Structure 1
């Protein structure tokens, strides 16, 4: 896809990966509708991009609400004149023992990470099919291919998003509408609790800056890529987990006690 003048909805736009992606898209001369629950940070981002010459509009919304999702689509039609690209980036992250997670928190995470992106894709799909082109990009995680202890709800949500992306891509083959699934590894964003950052440091887990993920998103869209897994050896572990999951079980078991010590903090 040529991003120059492409009409883009970007969710979770004021977060770490979201704001970096917004900047990368603006540098590619895309037209942006930035969506997030955080109205103040969202407006600041839009103002910054406009000051740099970009076409960027802020639209605060709670994407777990059907009325807000529909309002986003309608607003995109008004200010952008259509939709060429939907980037489902909004998400929540839980790092806890599963038995300590509140049911309401689990439900909200699944609504934000799974239900909202699926229903947003459903809303934009007829528009893209009528114009015979478009792309849906779903931001997943390495944890959507490898189930990690103390990330049970989060892993479940990203497994679901990966399966949805694969199924929809196959369904839309030949339609002109593509589906991309991007799986970052650990990334330095405000979503991370301090205990998670400390655990990653203790276990020597590599953490990417949000800008690396943003660059991968832009590159994937330009090249019409179906799937992108970021990081080495994480992308290798994805393959190993698919072929020889018991090997990965053993590796994670050796780290289990240390991981739990961080997961139970605060």
Structure 2
């Protein structure tokens, strides 16, 4: 995440998965650093509540309902943001889902849901912003994974599968962006 010294008042930051938890905290911190924050999530009601909390703190926040697993929704959202607010300078992807249980209780759909949100989500979002960031010679893309993206444990197999993929994508993107001015950060809490 950008340091306070890097923030320029009014630059646009997009935080995906920001209706609660860590995403909401990241959105708050970016707002406090002077960014004009756009938060997105799948559930309108939770998103509205998050926006209201941040507005009550005096932060400039917009919200958009978006399923990060749907590339069409992501590209449409990014286009709307950049057309109305300006270029996205910071992208933070926190969106996630977790299914807990032994393998025998899981179905393929559990894996699909996890991979669609926690792997395709960061991929969709990064691909939607990276070309314009590279053209400007600046920007910051952060993907929040977890220790589950480094160490796989029983009863969290869909989660670990998706998070390992997200870590690999983010680390590879960082190497691809080397020397372009676009920063890429892989966040592994835990």
Q: Normalising to structure 1: TM-score of the pair? A: 0.67
Is the 8 Å Cα contact of residues 98 and 153 (structure 1) preserved in structure 2? Answer: no
CA distance in 2, matches of 1:58, 1:179: 24
CA distance in 2, matches of 1:102, 1:3: 44
Q: What CA deviation, in whole Å up to 9, does each residue of 1:15-46 have, x standing for no partner?
A: 21111111112111211110001111211221
Corresponding residue SS for 2:100 = coil
For residue 7 of structure 2, the aligned residue among 3, 6, 18 is 3
For residue 32 of structure 1, the aligned residue among 28, 37, 40 is 37
How much has 1:133 moved relative to structure 2? 0.1
Answer yes or no: is 1:129 the counterpart of 2:134. Answer: yes
Moved over 6 A (4+): none
Answer yes or no: is 1:80 the counterpart of 2:73. Answer: no
CA distance in 2, matches of 1:149, 1:75: 41
Bigger drift between 42-51 and 76-85 goes to 42-51
CA distance in 2, matches of 1:156, 1:32: 30
How much has 1:105 moved relative to structure 2? 2.1
Residue 151 of structure 2 is matched in structure 1 by 146
Is the 8 Å Cα contact of residues 91 and 113 (structure 1) preserved in structure 2? Answer: yes
Residue 43 of structure 1 is matched in structure 2 by 48
- Superposition RMSD in Å: 1.3
How much has 1:98 moved relative to structure 2? 1.5
How much has 1:67 moved relative to structure 2? 2.0
Query: Which is greater in Rg?
Result: 1
Any stretches of 5+ residues in structure 1 without a counterpart?
186-266
How much has 1:3 moved relative to structure 2? 2.4
Answer yes or no: is 1:162 the counterpart of 2:167. Answer: yes
Q: Normalising to structure 2: TM-score of the pair? A: 0.92
1:202-221 alignment to 2 at 5 Å? none
Any stretches of 5+ residues in structure 2 without a counterpart?
none
CA distance in 2, matches of 1:67, 1:160: 21
